[in-house]
Amino acid sequence: MRDIANKDQKGFVTPEMFNSLLPAVQSNIFTKIMQYAINSQALKRGGADLGGEDSVYLHAKNYLSEYIVSSELKSTNEDSFYDDANVFSKPSNINRVISLFTVDGTSIDLVYNNEKMSRIAKSNLSQPTEDFPVALISNKIEVFPDSITEGVVINYYRNPASRYETSSARDDMGDVDPNRQPFYSAQSFSGGISVPSALNCRGFDLPYEFYGEVVSEICKMIGVSLRDAFLTQYGAAPQV
């Protein structure tokens, strides 16, 4: 980015400015990956997907497989605002729910509309049972019937975090650091020399195939910040 912006001598693109853009850049690219997956499903349904190793749908599923997490939900029963033991907190890094099921393997149907859930709960035909449970997805996850108070497992897409740039005593290079966003760290020495500090740097938590997209997105943001038309146009241009 320093080379593209040609700001090496004057230092207009500082590490602080660069780091401030990275979470937004990653979020934008992740949104594109999710949209790519949605578009690939449309191609498959329309019979336009090539299939096999050239399948756009399989490529999209492969990208998203890096973000699938499975964990047992924690009840909010101890929260003073929620008194029901069948209400569960969402994982802090959740992006989108994939599925819910009980620990014994019973699938839980998902409902996202409170009014629809109310109709289901009152219906004599579709009222949830322990064999056919239903969950209302909102800011919390409420499972019906209310006798299900534990043992609920969620599969979900997590939000992207960052990846270690080098190995340490506890982590290998490329492992996910769930507590950090992408970050550039450098050590400065006399004479104006700056050397990256790999141990403190964190890479993007994105597939390598989107490297060009990352560069373009950063260019657009820096271009807007510096009011640099060349950078903005470079970032907006399709990357081959």
Give the pLDDT band (50/70/90) at residue 18. confident
pLDDT tens for 114-151 read 999 999 988 888 899 999 999 999 999 999 998 998 89
Last residue of a domain, one of 158, 181, 213: 158
Q: Where is the domain boundary, 104, 127, 158?
A: 158
Helices 56-65 and 15-45, packing angle to 10 deg: 140
Residues 147 and 183 in one domain: no
| pLDDT at residue 17 in the model | 81
* pLDDT band at residue 9 under the 50/70/90 scheme: very low
Give the pLDDT score at 96. 94
**Across 17-26, 44-53, 73-82, 177-186, least confident range:** 73-82
pLDDT for residue 191:
63
Please report, in angstroms and rounded to a whole number, the separation of the first and last CA atoms in the chain.
Answer: 17
Residues 152, 164, single domain; the answer is no
Residues 168 and 144 in one domain: no
Which band of pLDDT confidence, cut at 50, 70 and 90, is reported for residue 192?
A: low
Do residues 130 and 184 both lie within one domain? no
Mean pLDDT of the 21-47 span: 89
Q: Which amino acid, residue 99?
A: S
Residues 73 and 154 reside in one and the same domain:
yes
- Give the domain extent around 165: 2-27+160-236
Max Cα–Cα distance, the chain, nearest Å: 79
Residue 212 to residue 54: CA distance in whole angstroms = 20
Residue 47 covered by a domain: no
The pTM assigned to this predicted structure is 0.81
* Statement: residue 82 has pLDDT above 50: no
Let me know whether 124 and 151 are in one domain: yes
What's the total number of domains in the chain?
2
> Which of 40-54, 69-83, 140-154 has the largest mean confidence?
140-154
Residue ending a domain, choose from 101, 131, 158 = 158
Is the domain of 169 the same as that of 229?
yes
pLDDT attached to residue 230: 54
Q: Which residue has the higher pLDDT, 36 or 158?
A: 158
In sequence order, which residues have a C-beta less than 8 Å from that of residue 184 and are 6 or more positions away? 15, 18, 19, 22, 196, 201
Residues 83 and 140 grouped into a single domain: yes
Whether residue 57 is contained in a domain is answered as: no
Indicate if 105 and 186 belong to the same structural domain.
no
146 lies in the same domain as 170 = no
Alpha-carbon distance of 155 to 70, in angstroms, equals 4
* Residue 119 in domain: yes
Report the pLDDT value the prediction gives residue 227, as an integer from 0 to 100. Answer: 57
177 and 216 in a single domain? The answer is yes
Q: Given a cut of 70, is residue 234 above it in pLDDT?
A: no
